A and B are shown apart, each in its own frame.
Chain A
Amino acid sequence: MSRTPGKKSRLRSIATICSIYDSYKYSDTARSTVRWRLIGLARGAWSRILLAVLIGLGVSLINVAQLSITGYAIGKMFAGAEVSVVLPLLLIAAILILFRAWLTYLKETIAHYIAAGIKIALRNRIYAHLIALGPGYLGRRQTGELLAAAVHGVETLEIYFGKYLPQLVITLLTPIVIFTYLTILDWQLALVLAFFFIAALTMPQWFNPSARRERRRHWAAIAELNSYFIDSLQGLVTLKAFNHGKARGEEITKRAVDLCSAIMRVIGINFAHIGVTNLIMTSGAAVALGWGAVRVVEGTLSIDVLLIVLLLGNEIYKPILELNTAYHGGLEGATAAGGIFNLLDTTPDVTNSPNATRTPPVAQSIRFEDVTFGYDEGKRPALSDLSFEVNSGETVALVGRSGSGKTTVINLLLRFWDPQHGRITLGGQGLREYTLETLRAQASVVSQDTYLFHGTVADNLRVSKPDASDEELKRAARLANAHDFIVALPHGYDTVVGERGTRLSGGERQRIAIARVLLRDAPILLLDEATSSVDAENEAIIQEAIDRLKRGRTTLVVAHRLSTVRGADRIVVLDDGRMVESGSHNELIGAGGIYAQLVSAQRVS
């Protein structure tokens, strides 16, 4: 249930691939719900989207106007007009071109203006929701998945709101305007072009079912190669030891080839789709042109109109092409949104009760009363009917094999989860009667591994008390036996640590955690196998610091080493989520139960 730092940087591409792959599993109705909710998100940006639509329409219409004027000018030349008559027409065309260039600039820029507000608000909402969901939710998820939603998902939406949505409207509106104009020029040619336009818009739909099927296969092939490669990398030492690397390589080649043929099928269909669309569009222009020419020869059409048709022939279809480009963004946006909405729809397991108090507890006594708790419904509970007590100022050690539920006790005490049955009290009051903030302010945790944020050592210490003075920091660090190693770092307290900074050893991180706890000065101390990942030499130093920490505090220790346990007032032995024994070290050794067995199982490592 704890965080697993090793897996933390699951790759963006994988996460995206997987989330896209997942989205193909959604039903069509689920997808259309997502679309409507997405449009709901754009509520604040309607006016900007409208502006984008107007600009887009402007670009298309100016283009039509410019080409018409040019065609008209050429027609005038055919009719033998003076150059001085034609040149002003071409000057107008030039002005229109410049105007269009400016609009093109605006069109590109506006996308970000539309999306900016939405993106900022959405990121805030996602992170605020994550805080509400708390570490309990996080324990069951991979960071990569969340990151895909919170960072990349949000970025993807920019294209959805900035480009796809406006383009959708533009594609619907532009042809209407153009065809009205063409009808005025010559309704018969307009009809021909309209026929091909509709064909180009609808015929490719025939490819959709097979395209969707092949795309699904394609994602499956990606996922297969991806997970097979990860599996092979992580098991590579085993593979080599069993002389199996070459064979595995051939398996990978096979999967790479499978992926290749899967994508070629997708591409085959895609290109058939594009090819047919292009053929229809070119045919439309060609038919209109040919027939128009014949009619000009027959004298039923003016040459000006034919020239305009010649120049406009391909322009008419541009919105379709642009929509095709934007469509991809739309699809990705809908997919990303699926992930984001999934996250936002998750309700927090633990919330503040309406009548929770901010008054801190009068005493620090902790009681578990018949507590039963399981992480997942239907699975074996992690704790069953657990009852025990820690009096104010006492130190109680929890002992048991891994998986016996020790860490769960601490998770419940901090209300990362709530138990399904039974009750936990603090100072005689149920945990739920305090606000989460008040409850968590009472307790400090030093856990098996301590997370350091990207920032200086001082920043990391101040996490627990933002307004602590430098003097306070140093005092806490000294008490935590951390001052000496901090001073030895390249920039002392200002050394940047964390994922992208100087790496600290497990023992050094633990001492920072202890210093944090000292700064915070909360009355209850929870030690979750604080020294288990530390070597013997470090352990003594840390143990010394912990002993200082325990002074005057109510302490619950999840214990790993005998030395920790011996100092406890009482030992509670857990097995399979139940309390099987409790008492002092000597009592338990005398009883000859599980504890005695654990102690006698000597290990050398």
Chain B
Amino acid sequence: MSTKLFTKVLSKTALRVGFVIILSYMSTITVDGKKYETDLAKTKHTLIRLLRMVRPWWGELTLTSLAAMLNSASTIALAAVGALIVGLAAEGTSVIELRPYLIALAILTVFKAIMAWAESYISHRIAYAILAMMRSRVFDAIEPAAPAYILKRRSGDIISTVMADVETVELYFAHTLMPTLVALVMPLTALIILGSLHWMLPLVLLPFLFLVIGTPITMHHIGDAIANRLRIELGETNAHMVDSIQGLREIVVFGRGGARLSEVEENSRALVATQKRNSRYLGSLGGLTEGCSMLGSLTVLVTGVLMVGKGMLPSHQLPLMLLMASAAFGPVMNIAKVAKQVAMIMASAERVFTVLDEPAVVRETPDAEPIGAVEPRLTFEDVTFRYQPDEPSVLKSVSFECSAGENVAVVGPSGSGKTTLVNLLLRFWDPQHGGIMIGGRDIRTLSFAELRNLVSVVQQDAYIFNTTIGDNIRIGKPDATDADIEDAARKAYIHDFIASLPDGYDTTLGERGAKLSGGERQRISIARALLKDGPILILDEATSNLDSENEQAIRDGIDNLMEGRTTLVIAHRLSTIATADKVVVLDHGRVVESGTHDDLMGGEGMYARIIRVQRDVIA
């Protein structure tokens, strides 16, 4: 009983010691070439949060821990049995007596292979299942934070988090948890077996074990400094190369190729010099720990030899002693590598968690009341909005109304707040003051689904997904039939074009719809809006130049779309404005004028001025 209690206390202490070792490793973290002192609490928090993710896989985790322990147990048993066989053979036993040991050897060999396989397979299964979950959660976290969040960060960085950082976390679940466990269990077992031979043997081994664990810890400040320098220099070389490639046109035109080339070489040399320093550090660390571990085993053996010489121990225990001592070091040397890894994992995990914790910009009203049949009347009432607390307001007390079925054009110089109106109407953001009403009801009281069903948008730069044309239109209404889609395409004047493609509606469009012209993209976006059939239409007119043939088709498509709908047009074309029921002129976030085109042209206001100046632009 007391031995059980003893091992329990011992293993708990060991666990705690292990934790402290790992945490002390993580006292500094290098992220993107900068060194951060992390308070342990934060790191612990990340660690625990990662651990919590394993919770649904407790069963598997228990299995893999079991396999890991059995695997290390059979490793030790194999060594012990082998040593015993040799010892027995030395004493001159009979073959019959050897037989059970030989059978044990055979069974253990196969058993160890199976356990080793089970350990890695199950732990990887857990790891990759968690990775899949994290990746899907990242998108779920970004979706409500968009587009605000996407504007803040480059999509390349987000992808890097989704692919690379999440992949790094795999190391935690598949290559950190079990090795840590094994690193605790294996040396402990080996020490206990050595102790059972003679109590002095573990005491001889312990200093060496501490040396092997302690060397990397005491040296890691040097190592970090070099690794830091290395990361900075690699970043420099990298950035310089990016600069050199992106500026290649200027470099070539100004005849600066030779000079740039010598800079490239200079950077290369500096990088290589630091890499050499780093490898000298890694080499000495490797040499030291390896030397310590082998000397440790040898010292145990020497102690054994001395004891045998004094008749304190039988000589046949010498091989067992040596093998047990070596067995203690393997996983411990591994743990240094693991601990190094943890710093990297934490940095990645924190980046992932930062994305996961991104607060939603706008919250959906829980259990919003369905709106039912609604009059498609759109009202902006005293709307004031700024994107960031420390930025000036983009909209200042904007009020206007689009009555049901009316066609209202919003005009104004760039930066006057036109696009913000659309962003607020779609509830990508909420205004700080005032509100937007549909049929008299504040849109904040609607569910997202209902609001977005009421409002159709034709964006200026319609995004085309890398899938078939049919699916791209179907985004407007996921359950639409092929006939619905074709009908929408016809009304958007894109059907003939689609039909002329070799695969028709099943033609894949490539990255960002690369195979389509601007006009074709625009018409696909019109078809989407037609298919969606919301009673309120937002039209963000394209500023870029389209060829005249396309332009006519687009205008016809838009006419079809506007029919019977309340329309708000962010207008750039005179022809659009001229036919609007009402024109609202925005300037610096304020409504400065409103009225019909003719009314406004009659005055000497901003509108009349804009029209006259911009007539000057050609193609």
List B287-323 residues whose CB lies under 8 Å from chain A: 287-288, 290-291, 294-295, 298, 301-302, 305-306, 308-309, 315-316, 318-319, 322-323
Question: Which residues on the B side are within 8 Å of A313 (C-beta)?
Answer: 82
Q: Is A236 located at the chain interface by the 8 A CB criterion? A: yes
Contact with B along A138-159 (1 / 0, CB 8 A): 1000010011001100010010
Chain A contact surface mostly: helix
Chain B residue at minimal CB-CB distance from A403: B547
- Measured in the bound complex, the distance between the Cα atoms of B129 and A452 in whole Å is 45
Stretch among A209-217, A322-330, A543-551, A597-605 lining the B interface: A597-605
Question: Which residues on the B side are within 8 Å of A109 (C-beta)?
Answer: 276, 279-280, 283
Assess whether A279 is in contact with B272, with CB atoms less than 8 Å apart.
no
Chain A residue at minimal CB-CB distance from B85: A293
Chain B residue at minimal CB-CB distance from A563: B616
- Measured in the bound complex, the distance between the Cα atoms of B120 and A272 in whole Å is 11
- Measured in the bound complex, the distance between the Cα atoms of B619 and A598 in whole Å is 6
How far, in Å, is B18 (CB) from chain A's closest CB? Answer: 26
Assess whether A604 is in contact with B284, with CB atoms less than 8 Å apart.
no
Specify which of A87, A127, A247, A283 lies most central, judged by the most chain B CB atoms within 10 Å of its CB. Answer: A127
Cross-interface CB contact of A294 among B98, B255, B414, B465, cutoff 8 Å:
B98
Question: Which residues on the A side are within 8 Å of B618 (C-beta)?
Answer: 399, 559-562, 565, 595, 598-599, 601
- Measured in the bound complex, the distance between the Cα atoms of B316 and A307 in whole Å is 11
Give 25 pairs: A residue, B residue, CB < 8 Å, sorted on A.
A14-B159, A97-B298, A105-B280, A106-B283, A108-B286, A109-B279, A113-B276, A120-B268, A123-B268, A130-B248, A151-B237, A222-B163, A228-B466, A237-B147, A238-B459, A241-B452, A293-B98, A303-B90, A307-B86, A307-B319, A401-B545, A401-B547, A560-B619, A604-B571, A604-B610
Q: Is B45 located at the chain interface by the 8 A CB criterion? A: no
- Measured in the bound complex, the distance between the Cα atoms of B243 and A243 in whole Å is 40
Q: Which 4 A-B pairs have CB atoms at the shortest separation, nearest pair first?
A: A101-B291, A108-B283, A83-B309, A253-B136
Cross-interface CB contact of B544 among A106, A402, A595, cutoff 8 Å:
A402
Contact with A along B228-271 (1 / 0, CB 8 A): 00000010011111111111111111111101110011001100
Cross-interface CB contact of A231 among B158, B465, B478, cutoff 8 Å:
B465
Cross-interface CB contact of A263 among B128, B279, B462, B619, cutoff 8 Å:
B128
Q: Is A478 located at the chain interface by the 8 A CB criterion? A: no
Question: Which residues on the A side are within 8 Å of B243 (C-beta)?
Answer: 453-454, 498-499
List A214-261 residues whose CB lies under 8 Å from chain B: 222, 225-249, 252-253, 256-257, 259-260
How far, in Å, is A542 (CB) from chain B's closest CB? Answer: 16
Q: Is A441 located at the chain interface by the 8 A CB criterion? A: yes
Stretch among A5-13, A171-179, A197-205, A388-396 lining the B interface: A5-13
Q: Is B139 located at the chain interface by the 8 A CB criterion? A: yes
Assess whether B475 is in contact with A244, with CB atoms less than 8 Å apart.
yes
Chain B residue at minimal CB-CB distance from A242: B475
Q: Is A504 located at the chain interface by the 8 A CB criterion? A: no
Q: Is B590 located at the chain interface by the 8 A CB criterion? A: no
Stretch among A22-30, A73-81, A418-426 lining the B interface: A73-81
Cross-interface CB contact of A131 among B257, B272, B574, cutoff 8 Å:
B257
Assess whether A5 is in contact with B246, with CB atoms less than 8 Å apart.
yes
Assess whether A147 is in contact with B459, with CB atoms less than 8 Å apart.
no
Assess whether A131 is in contact with B251, with CB atoms less than 8 Å apart.
yes
Question: Which residues on the A side are within 8 Å of B92 (C-beta)?
Answer: 297
Assess whether A297 is in contact with B573, with CB atoms less than 8 Å apart.
no
Q: A113-B276, A241-B452 are in contact. Are A560 and B121 (CB under 8 A)?
A: no
Cross-interface CB contact of A233 among B131, B150, B282, cutoff 8 Å:
B150
Assess whether A101 is in contact with B315, with CB atoms less than 8 Å apart.
no
Chain B contact surface mostly: helix
Assess whether A238 is in contact with B462, with CB atoms less than 8 Å apart.
yes
How far, in Å, is A101 (CB) from chain B's closest CB? Answer: 3
Q: Is A437 located at the chain interface by the 8 A CB criterion? A: yes
- Measured in the bound complex, the distance between the Cα atoms of B343 and A430 in whole Å is 62
Assess whether A229 is in contact with B159, with CB atoms less than 8 Å apart.
yes
How far, in Å, is A119 (CB) from chain B's closest CB? Answer: 6
Question: Which residues on the A side are within 8 Å of B547 (C-beta)?
Answer: 401
Q: Is A165 located at the chain interface by the 8 A CB criterion? A: no
Stretch among B53-61, B108-116, B194-202, B482-490 lining the A interface: B108-116
Assess whether B155 is in contact with A73, with CB atoms less than 8 Å apart.
no
- Measured in the bound complex, the distance between the Cα atoms of B448 and A230 in whole Å is 24
- Measured in the bound complex, the distance between the Cα atoms of B156 and A147 in whole Å is 14
Assess whether A3 is in contact with B276, with CB atoms less than 8 Å apart.
no
Question: Which residues on the B side are within 8 Å of A44 (C-beta)?
Answer: none
List B605-619 residues whose CB lies under 8 Å from chain A: 610-611, 613-619
Assess whether A399 is in contact with B95, with CB atoms less than 8 Å apart.
no
Chain B residue at minimal CB-CB distance from A309: B86
Assess whether A131 is in contact with B261, with CB atoms less than 8 Å apart.
yes
Chain B residue at minimal CB-CB distance from A144: B156
Contact with B along A301-325 (1 / 0, CB 8 A): 0010011001101000000000000
Assess whether A240 is in contact with B146, with CB atoms less than 8 Å apart.
yes
Q: Is A94 located at the chain interface by the 8 A CB criterion? A: yes
Specify which of B252, B259, B315 lies most central, judged by the most chain A CB atoms within 10 Å of its CB. Answer: B252
Question: Which residues on the B side are within 8 Å of A601 (C-beta)?
Answer: 548, 618-619
Assess whether A520 is in contact with B254, with CB atoms less than 8 Å apart.
yes
Question: Which residues on the A side are within 8 Å of B144 (C-beta)?
Answer: 245
Q: Is B143 located at the chain interface by the 8 A CB criterion? A: yes
Assess whether B132 is in contact with A127, with CB atoms less than 8 Å apart.
no
- Measured in the bound complex, the distance between the Cα atoms of B610 and A520 in whole Å is 38
How far, in Å, is B121 (CB) from chain A's closest CB? Answer: 5
Chain B residue at minimal CB-CB distance from A155: B234
Assess whether A94 is in contact with B295, with CB atoms less than 8 Å apart.
yes
- Measured in the bound complex, the distance between the Cα atoms of B249 and A441 in whole Å is 14
- Measured in the bound complex, the distance between the Cα atoms of B227 and A184 in whole Å is 47
Assess whether B255 is in contact with A441, with CB atoms less than 8 Å apart.
yes
Assess whether A293 is in contact with B86, with CB atoms less than 8 Å apart.
yes
- Measured in the bound complex, the distance between the Cα atoms of B264 and A127 in whole Å is 8
How far, in Å, is B248 (CB) from chain A's closest CB? Answer: 5
Question: Which residues on the B side are within 8 Å of A500 (C-beta)?
Answer: 239
Contact with A along B450-464 (1 / 0, CB 8 A): 001101010100111
